[in-house]
Chains A and B, each alone.
Chain A
């Protein structure tokens, strides 16, 4: 049976539908053409990353960024430009939470990166599992930097609580290094007083009564001690102390290794929300993963950070002093507990420190 010819109404409806379709296709093609003109082409591009780091890592990332840029160019053909921001670790974390668009953070301690997850919701809570060694590609510790000849006879933590000894250390409320300093001293006091928390608290109180200036970050404290000539002893990141000796005028200082210190594990992470928005996830991940490469570990060692890899650790073993190290987990129950007990508002530091 032959199909009936379409009615005039049907023909007009079909014609209208075709016109509407053609009309909308025309609009879409114009818009698509304009978008393709405006959106940059894919071949060779320049990626920009922002690395928000803690205070004393300027020299490390200056060397590392150049190496990574060479690596990335060879691997992908793209250029990568890394912008750096440095400051007290806690302060930097707060800045990122407040909107500083960090693609990666390389902070002094895991607690500051945890804050990005718990407060800022910028990365997942299990971020630390994403990279080897709990996302700490290198370690450091805390030492004492004194003036040439050690005129005040600083030998160990006990000497920092003596009357008349002026101690330089940054503010633990803003500086990650300052928190490591504090915990290293507390750990020593706990060992000295066989775990007596009250005596350890008094010890720390006496130490901070000898602190005349609290800088916001570790580099600021180094400036206070070296450039401004203030204080008898600087409680310092190990890498910072070695850098000070390398600088012109470094022969005016000496490192004193205390009998006990803390294993400091600066941690790194990419900031998921930022890299998703900026489209830099691949480059950001690669940037942090390369820290674990042979070249990355060698750069760490060259800048006086203790590398994780056996090869680099062996190469740079001679430059690092032997020191008994405690860990944040074994003595303080982890960063979450330590942060809450000592450094949160109203914590022990707030109770014992009175500005003077």
Chain B
């Protein structure tokens, strides 16, 4: 803990102290000074008024009176000084005292100097999914607790950070989503260890809370999700150049690690992202960013095969045969770009995912290359800035005050193509699509920084190599209307 008059340095991880205010101190010193000034004035007036009465008294009495006044003056000064010391000590104690803040950003606890902090947050997403023209109930209209996550993160000694997130929602069992800690030596050099998002896809790396649409595009199906490993990252020149590189266990596309590696090999990922005009507020291209993420590795076994690619409505439209095993090199590359200017924002990325697979152990293998791309754009109708980190309304929704938060419209197009070599050896053409193309239209209502409601319509068209059987959901296009109620803090 710091004390002794050395000013605190600004903190980065956790940035909690900016809204943590020391308690206001009382103003007894002003009251004391006013009182003592008035008392001195009264004493002086008393002496002056008494003077005519004392003309006949001896000089000794006058001296005694002066001594008394000096004594009273000293006592007043002592009282003032003691109060001043008490105020200084109170201010120093307040500065060193732990701080607790409950805000719309989180529940935060921090040491007086801000070096240590813990933040408790959460994410709740309740979806309503309506499917149209799905042949009468093949797809269930349903409410879904899409995500329910308690989030704990924080810092120690300013340079050590940690994050722990569990997933209690979704359709799987409760699990640990993120569990990692980091060491930040400086802006350009930070290390992270544990389970966290692999540094490749632009849309994937965005927070689950603040994407344009409530579901990421089908292009993000081709990138791995969270994995176990270690990463070095940093930024230069205030974020003009951002990089990340890491070594991970390796997971298939669209998969979270199960906390154990299924083979002996590792995957390497790297991403570099440039915002060349970031520090020039006058540049029209200040909000332009672009980069590339890539991954290279070797994977082996049945667990190294993706469980499938899903539509915006979370229906699986492509899956390998159950006997398929991975055996060989895996590589992915994703050039990506983003542009934000005022209320307008757009992101786009192209993803290639290459795997080496065998139809069954011992069978000849093939290299399959699946490709996807997406382009999304949004516009904040109420004028607030579009942001990768979410729109912050100028005025939160308030029925009493007649303010309506922020409103944003969004549009997206995405396309995912399966390598034709996958069929029929590695995937059954009668139950899988070989391509999906999706259009999304969205309306987002940001009631506050922490509450968002989204209204999204998706129309996903499938192409199939052969006609599908009547029971397959992919027999017709997916038309889904998904509403999400979200609390994120």
A contacts, CB < 8 Å to B:
26-27, 30-31, 34-35, 37-39, 50, 52, 83, 85-87, 91-92, 94-95, 98-100, 166, 212-213, 215-216, 220, 224, 228-230
Contact present for B1 and A34 (CB under 8 Å): no
Looking at chain B's contact residues, the main secondary structure is mixed
Knowing A83-B6, A213-B85, say if A27 contacts B74 (CB, 8 Å).
Answer: no
Contact present for B188 and A37 (CB under 8 Å): yes
Closest CB-CB distance, B96 to chain A, in whole Å?
9
Contact present for B189 and A35 (CB under 8 Å): yes
Q: Which of B1, B78, B232, B247 contacts A35 (CB 8 A)?
A: B232
Provide 9 A-B residue pairs closer than 8 Å at the C-beta atoms, listed in order of the A residue.
A30-B268, A35-B189, A35-B232, A87-B4, A98-B1, A100-B2, A212-B74, A224-B81, A228-B80
Closest-by-CB residue of B relative to A31 is: B232
Q: How large is the interface on B (under 10, 10 to 19, 20 to 34, 35 or more residues)?
A: 20 to 34
Contact present for A95 and B4 (CB under 8 Å): yes
Closest CB-CB distance, A53 to chain B, in whole Å?
10
Closest CB-CB distance, B402 to chain A, in whole Å?
50
List of A residues within 8 angstroms of B189 by Cβ? 34-35, 38-39
List of A residues within 8 angstroms of B1 by Cβ? 95, 98-100
Is residue B186 contacting chain A, with contact meaning CB distance below 8 A?
yes
Knowing A37-B188, A38-B186, A216-B89, say if A100 contacts B3 (CB, 8 Å).
Answer: yes
List of A residues within 8 angstroms of B115 by Cβ? 99
List of A residues within 8 angstroms of B268 by Cβ? 26-27, 30
Is residue B234 contacting chain A, with contact meaning CB distance below 8 A?
yes
Contact present for B81 and A228 (CB under 8 Å): yes
Closest-by-CB residue of A relative to B244 is: A34
Q: Which of B2, B78, B247 contacts A230 (CB 8 A)?
A: B78
Q: Give the top 3 A-B pairs by smallest Cβ distance, nearest first.
A: A38-B188, A38-B189, A95-B4
Is residue B270 contacting chain A, with contact meaning CB distance below 8 A?
yes
Contact present for B188 and A52 (CB under 8 Å): no
List of B residues within 8 angstroms of A52 by Cβ? 4
Q: How far, in whole Å, are A212 and B81 apart by their CA atoms in the complex?
A: 10
Closest CB-CB distance, B241 to chain A, in whole Å?
9
Q: How far, in whole Å, are A229 and B5 apart by their CA atoms in the complex?
A: 25
Closest-by-CB residue of A relative to B75 is: A212
Knowing A27-B268, A31-B245, A34-B232, say if A99 contacts B2 (CB, 8 Å).
Answer: yes
Is residue B421 contacting chain A, with contact meaning CB distance below 8 A?
no
Q: How far, in whole Å, are A213 and B74 apart by their CA atoms in the complex?
A: 11
Knowing A30-B245, A31-B232, A38-B189, say if A85 contacts B4 (CB, 8 Å).
Answer: yes
Closest-by-CB residue of B relative to A229 is: B77
Closest CB-CB distance, B178 to chain A, in whole Å?
23
Contact present for B247 and A27 (CB under 8 Å): yes
Q: How far, in whole Å, are A95 and B1 apart by their CA atoms in the complex?
A: 7
Q: How far, in whole Å, are A283 and B184 apart by their CA atoms in the complex?
A: 24
Given contacts A228-B77, A230-B74, A230-B77, 19 further A-B contacts (CB under 8 A): A26-B268, A27-B247, A30-B268, A30-B270, A31-B232, A31-B245, A34-B189, A34-B234, A35-B189, A37-B188, A38-B185, A52-B4, A85-B6, A86-B4, A87-B5, A91-B4, A100-B1, A215-B85, A230-B78
Closest-by-CB residue of B relative to A93 is: B4
List of B residues within 8 angstroms of A99 by Cβ? 1-2, 115
Contact residues, B170-187 vs A (CB, 8 A): 185-186
Closest CB-CB distance, B10 to chain A, in whole Å?
15
Is residue B243 contacting chain A, with contact meaning CB distance below 8 A?
yes
List of B residues within 8 angstroms of A100 by Cβ? 1-4, 6
Closest-by-CB residue of A relative to B187 is: A38
Closest-by-CB residue of A relative to B3 is: A95
Q: How far, in whole Å, are A52 and B236 apart by their CA atoms in the complex?
A: 33
Contact residues, B80-110 vs A (CB, 8 A): 80-82, 85, 89
Q: How far, in whole Å, are A91 and B92 apart by their CA atoms in the complex?
A: 12
Closest-by-CB residue of B relative to A215 is: B85
Q: How far, in whole Å, are A287 and B322 apart by their CA atoms in the complex?
A: 71
Q: How far, in whole Å, are A85 and B188 apart by their CA atoms in the complex?
A: 29
List of B residues within 8 angstroms of A220 by Cβ? 85
Contact present for A213 and B4 (CB under 8 Å): no
Closest CB-CB distance, A224 to chain B, in whole Å?
5
Contact present for A166 and B74 (CB under 8 Å): yes
Contact residues, B1-58 vs A (CB, 8 A): 1-6
Contact residues, B60-84 vs A (CB, 8 A): 74, 77-78, 80-82
Contact present for B82 and A213 (CB under 8 Å): yes
Q: How far, in whole Å, are A92 and B6 apart by their CA atoms in the complex?
A: 11
Contact present for B78 and A213 (CB under 8 Å): yes
List of B residues within 8 angstroms of A35 by Cβ? 189, 232
Closest CB-CB distance, A46 to chain B, in whole Å?
14
Q: How far, in whole Å, are A22 and B188 apart by their CA atoms in the complex?
A: 27
Q: How far, in whole Å, are A148 and B124 apart by their CA atoms in the complex?
A: 74
Closest CB-CB distance, B446 to chain A, in whole Å?
36
List of A residues within 8 angstroms of B77 by Cβ? 228-230
Q: How far, in whole Å, are A330 and B186 apart by their CA atoms in the complex?
A: 51
List of B residues within 8 angstroms of A27 by Cβ? 247, 268
List of A residues within 8 angstroms of B6 by Cβ? 50, 83, 85, 100
Contact present for A85 and B245 (CB under 8 Å): no
List of A residues within 8 angstroms of B78 by Cβ? 212-213, 230
Contact present for B3 and A98 (CB under 8 Å): yes
Contact present for A86 and B5 (CB under 8 Å): yes
Of B6, B186, B232, most buried by chain A (CB within 10 Å of CB) is: B6
Q: How far, in whole Å, are A105 and B408 apart by their CA atoms in the complex?
A: 57
Q: How far, in whole Å, are A212 and B3 apart by their CA atoms in the complex?
A: 26
Closest CB-CB distance, A41 to chain B, in whole Å?
12
List of A residues within 8 angstroms of B82 by Cβ? 213
Q: How far, in whole Å, are A335 and B236 apart by their CA atoms in the complex?
A: 51
List of A residues within 8 angstroms of B232 by Cβ? 31, 34-35
Q: How far, in whole Å, are A94 and B74 apart by their CA atoms in the complex?
A: 33
Of A38, A50, A91, most buried by chain B (CB within 10 Å of CB) is: A38
Contact present for B243 and A34 (CB under 8 Å): yes
Closest CB-CB distance, A117 to chain B, in whole Å?
19
Closest CB-CB distance, B141 to chain A, in whole Å?
48
Closest-by-CB residue of A relative to B234 is: A38
Knowing A30-B270, A91-B4, say if A230 contacts B81 (CB, 8 Å).
Answer: yes
List of A residues within 8 angstroms of B3 by Cβ? 91, 94-95, 98, 100
Contact residues, B267-299 vs A (CB, 8 A): 268, 270
Q: How far, in whole Å, are A99 and B89 apart by their CA atoms in the complex?
A: 19
Contact present for A95 and B74 (CB under 8 Å): no
Bitwise interface map of B from 196 to 238 toward A, beta carbon under 8 Å scored 1, else 0: 0000000000000000000000000000000000001010100
List of B residues within 8 angstroms of A95 by Cβ? 1-4
Of B80, B85, B245, most buried by chain A (CB within 10 Å of CB) is: B85
Closest-by-CB residue of B relative to A27 is: B268
Closest CB-CB distance, A91 to chain B, in whole Å?
7
List of A residues within 8 angstroms of B80 by Cβ? 228
Closest CB-CB distance, A270 to chain B, in whole Å?
17
Contact present for B245 and A34 (CB under 8 Å): yes
List of A residues within 8 angstroms of B5 by Cβ? 85-87
